[in-house]
Amino acid sequence: MNIENTQSQMRKGILEFCILSVIRRGEAYPSDIVEEMKGANLNIFEGTLYPLLTRLKNADMLTYRWVESNSGPPRKYFSLTDKGKAFYDELEATWIELANAVNTLAKKTDSMPDTTNQNPSF
Amino acid sequence: MKKIININFQGRVIPIEETAYDTLKQYVESLRRYFSNEDGRDEIINDIESRIAELFSERLKRGTACITDDDVSAVIASIGRPQDFEEQDGGPEGASGTNYQNAQQQAAAGPASYSNVGRGRLYRNADDKIVGGVCSGLANYLGIDPVIMRILFVILIGALFWIYILLWIIVPSQSLQTNITKRLYRNPDDKVIAGVCGGLASYFNLERWVPRLVFALPLIIGLISTSMNAIWWNWDFGFAPRIITGSLGSTLFITYIILWIAVPYASTASEKLEMRGEKVDLNSIRDTVKVDLENFKSKTEKWGQEVKQTAQQFGTNAAAFGQAAGQHAKSFATEAAPIARRAGSGVGNVIGILFKAFFLFIAGIIALSLFGVLIALLFGGMATFPLKNFVLEGTGQNLLGWGTLILFLGVPLVALITWLIRRIMGVRSGNHYLGYIFSTLWVIGLLCCIFLIATFSSNFKTRIPVEDQVNILQPASNKLIVGVKNSHLEYYHGDWFGLRFNDELPIYGMNMDTLMLNTISVKVYKSKDSSYHLTRVRLGRGNNREAARSTAEKIQFNIEQKDSLILLPEGFPISTGDKFRNQQVLIAIDVPVGKRIVIEDAVNRYSWFDVNVNNRRGWNIEFNDYRDDSYSWNGNTEYIMTPDGLKKVKDLDQVELKKGHFKLLIDESNGKIELEGDGEGENKNDKYHYRYKQIEDSIKEKAKDKLRDEIRLKDSIEREKKLKEVIKSTTQNKDRTNEGTEDETLSGSHLFSPVLCFVQI
């Protein structure tokens, strides 16, 4: 166990939710998704995004259409399917629950010694 | 100064620096590996490639002439490297958050994030582990019992393992920048087989032909030795070169294979740079060693002090050590990850290389032996130069012959040597003229060879026999002896420039203008009248009937007679004018029934010799190397002609023979021959004969026993009757003339007839 691992585990859990929430607002091109997430101070590599999109697409959560581009090969624009929308709603509910729970707990431990940030190896 | 290449990337032509291209290729490859267990791998890679192409296009649109290293780096930074994905995606423990030293490792890195755990990928087994689950994982990967794997691991790796542990404890730990600026790679730009020699040359700053020559030396010495052997038979280098070609050769071969497997291929630009690297000289080596030794010394001193600490201190030390070990283990795991990653394909690689090496080895042996054969043919051809005078006819064929020899056989030899030398010296020809010239010359040689064979074989098209009766005086003793007279022709027997004519060849001697052939066949037939006849048939081959006839008629084969002795020549000569046209001589001896013939052992020296005991059915000459197996002919033995063919005199009933009456003699021998078996039972067929004897004896015994019983019970008259009945009941082909005989042996021999039938079935 180390800090990077825990952090990455935390990020990984919400990654799909974040991507879906960007796409929910309308058709999106992967690099736009990256930009938007960057804007929200959530850095993600495109190399991480593409497999996730493919996986979601293969699970029928997403669909895409080809759009001709003047600066390169045709682009894939992704959008949510009905199944994806349902999936997103569930995730959203879970996230709200989780955020509340975590916030509640984090507030409670405010006065106590901070242990969460400590590297377990030391 | 950098080379720019155009690549077709996602359907677009993109100008890119070669080094940048290498990096890009490496990067895409690393992605491919990373996503190797992903379902939509191709799609993901395709998407990413599209994105890269798009980014490149944007850059080119902004007016950049080509994609540079920096551009590629920027793109890679934006897309992310596989280990970056791990952090975001969350890879397995112990494999993430590491410092990678170079792109190569990055490319190889990347534990599976989403793949199914199990076979197909090497994992350390988290559930079944003793130290790190390595053995268990390996066993799972290879599908064997982990216990066996562990035992093997301990046995095989034991020693190295302990050395590693020891070094692990002793050697201080620090984050290291790679201080080796020059590494050993196989050189893809300068390779003959696998680039091992090229890599060695650039590593040691040698001329590139030096390592190549070292590795090729045994081969070259072998080649020279072979050619020398071909020219001077029994040529020998003596002791030293045997060592070089033998043990040294195989050692170098194995060394080459090991280097091939162990040394990485410098496929990227950075690796190539690393391969050439800094100049490795004695000073830098000495400095490095010095520094290392000092470090080592201080470390051991420090460690020694630590060991001397109190129990408490020792405890804290141990804790620190444990912690350090934990870190070691972790960093070791991260180091091992790419290696393990490689190991998966590494096993396949090793097998592949071994296969390659094996085939190269086989191909090398074949090439070498072909080379030897070529040399032998070339020089052997020169050695048999006089022989060609007997074979080839006219200027045309001679020219074709030389063309075949020099162009068809010689050119590949010269080409091979040239190629070898050029490869070793690293000369690359800018043009292909040499190749064209060699090929053209060889094709001409091939045509020469084909035409030669065509014209040559047409000379053997027709065969004509020339038959003539040799008048002989009928021997007074009713016995004809066939012998061989010694030839007075001078010829070199045995060695002739290393060529040895032994009994296997139809040629048994030759000199510069005479070739001695002994393609002579002697056949013995049953005469149609009461006198001996001798027929000489000379056979020759030629382009047409006339040529064949004249060839046959030119054969000098004079038969002499001295009383009952017929002397045949040892062979017959062919002069260079006559040419070799597969001349053959057939001597047919007709022996009248009741008369005898002795053929001396010397006749056996002829290439073909057989005895035809059947009636004459035209001439036939067949090459029969194994006559001794199929014909039970004994030399220097007296044979007698019977109506059923030749029989050994000693096999016949001497008493009956001596009675002298011709008719009686035949009758008796007739009966005897039937007993002896079907015509070829000359006591030679031991197996048959033995079995035959056994059955004969047992039946005789039974008959005797029966007879004795009869004698005991009946009086002499009844006994006579009984005997006849017994004979009747056991004999099918009863001989009427012997019916009344009381002789037990005789009746035994009659009893034996049905058994003969049985044996024949």
For residue A92, is pLDDT > 70? yes
pLDDT at B664: 37
Spatial contact of B78 and B61, defined as CB atoms under 8 Å apart: no
Which residues of chain B have a CB within 8 Å of the CB of A4? 87, 96-97
SS3 sequence of B57-101: HHHHHCCCCCECHHHHHHHHHHHCCHHHHHHHHCCCCCCCCCCCC
In which element (H, E) is residue B473 found? none
Q: Which residue of B has its CA nearest to A43?
A: B88
- Name the minimum distance, in Å, from the CA of B80 to any CA of chain A: 5
Which residues of chain A have a CB within 8 Å of the CB of B9? none
Asked if A58's CB is within 8 angstroms of B44's CB, the reply is no
- Name the minimum distance, in Å, from the CA of B101 to any CA of chain A: 19
Phi-psi region of B602 (alpha: psi -120 to 50; beta: other; left: phi over 0): alpha
Long-range contact set of residues B391-395: C-beta below 8 Å, sequence gap at least 24: B391/B456, B391/B579, B391/B580, B392/B456, B392/B579, B393/B459, B393/B579
Q: With an 8 Å Cβ cutoff, is B96 touching chain A?
A: yes
pLDDT at A93: 92
Which has more pLDDT, A57 or B594? A57
pLDDT band at B548 (very low <50, low <70, confident <90, very high): confident
Q: How far apart are CA B293 and CA B127, in angstroms?
A: 42
Q: In the predicted model, what is the mean pLDDT of residues B228-250?
A: 53
Is the pTM here over 0.90, yes or no? no
- Name the minimum distance, in Å, from the CA of A111 to any CA of chain B: 31
Q: With an 8 Å Cβ cutoff, is B115 touching chain A?
A: no
Spatial contact of A46 and A34, defined as CB atoms under 8 Å apart: yes
For residue A77, is pLDDT > 60? yes
Handedness of CA B526, B529, B532, B534 (dihedral sign): negative
> Which of B474-483, B657-666, B741-750 has the weakest average pLDDT?
B741-750
Which residues of chain B have a CB within 8 Å of the CB of A8? 86-91, 96
pLDDT band at A11 (very low <50, low <70, confident <90, very high): confident
Q: Which residue of A has its CA nearest to B13?
A: A72
For residue A22, is pLDDT > 60? yes
Q: With an 8 Å Cβ cutoff, is B47 touching chain A?
A: yes
The token duo for B702 is: 């039974």
Between residues 163 and 222 of chain B, which touch chain A (CB distance below 8 Å)?
none
Q: What SS3 class is residue B552?
A: helix
Q: Residues B551, B557, B562, CA angle at the centre, nearest 5°?
A: 165
Spatial contact of B483 and B568, defined as CB atoms under 8 Å apart: yes
Spatial contact of B51 and A33, defined as CB atoms under 8 Å apart: no
Closest in A8, A11, A54 to B44, CB measured: A54
For residue B492, is pLDDT > 50? no
Determine whether A117 is exposed, middle or buried from the number of CB atoms within 10 Å of its CB (0-12, 13-18, 19+): exposed
Q: In the predicted model, what is the mean pLDDT of residues B137-143?
A: 77
Q: How far apart are CA B186 and CA B201, in angstroms?
A: 10
Asked if B38's CB is within 8 angstroms of A51's CB, the reply is yes
DSSP state letter for B470? E
In which element (H, E) is residue B503 found? none
For residue B226, is pLDDT > 50? yes
Q: What SS3 class is residue B718?
A: helix
Hey, of A1, A33, A42, A46, which one would you mutate to test binding to chain B, going by the most B CBs within 10 A of its CB? A46
Tens digits of per-residue pLDDT, B319-344?
A: 666 676 666 666 666 655 555 555 55
Closest in B58, B84, B90 to A9, CB measured: B90
Which residues of chain B have a CB within 8 Å of the CB of A11? 88, 90
Between residues 56 and 75 of chain B, which touch chain A (CB distance below 8 Å)?
56-58, 61
Q: How far apart are CA B387 and CA B383, in angstroms?
A: 9
Which has more pLDDT, B629 or B125? B125
Tens digits of per-residue pLDDT, B688-739?
A: 555 566 667 777 777 887 777 776 766 667 766 767 777 777 665 544 444 4
Which has more pLDDT, B315 or A8? A8
Q: How far apart are CA B347 and CA B122, in angstroms?
A: 12
Q: In the predicted model, what is the mean pLDDT of residues B572-582?
A: 76
Q: List C-alpha distances in Å: B413 to B227, B371, B373, B375, B419.
A: 11, 7, 10, 8, 10
Q: With an 8 Å Cβ cutoff, is B82 touching chain A?
A: yes
Q: How far apart are CA A85 and CA B311, in angstroms?
A: 65
Tens digits of per-residue pLDDT, B169-184?
A: 777 766 665 555 667 7
Q: Residues B687, B626, B482, CA angle at the centre, nearest 5°?
A: 100
- Name the minimum distance, in Å, from the CA of B177 to any CA of chain A: 23
Q: How far apart are CA A80 and CA A64, in angstroms?
A: 9
For residue B412, is pLDDT > 70? yes
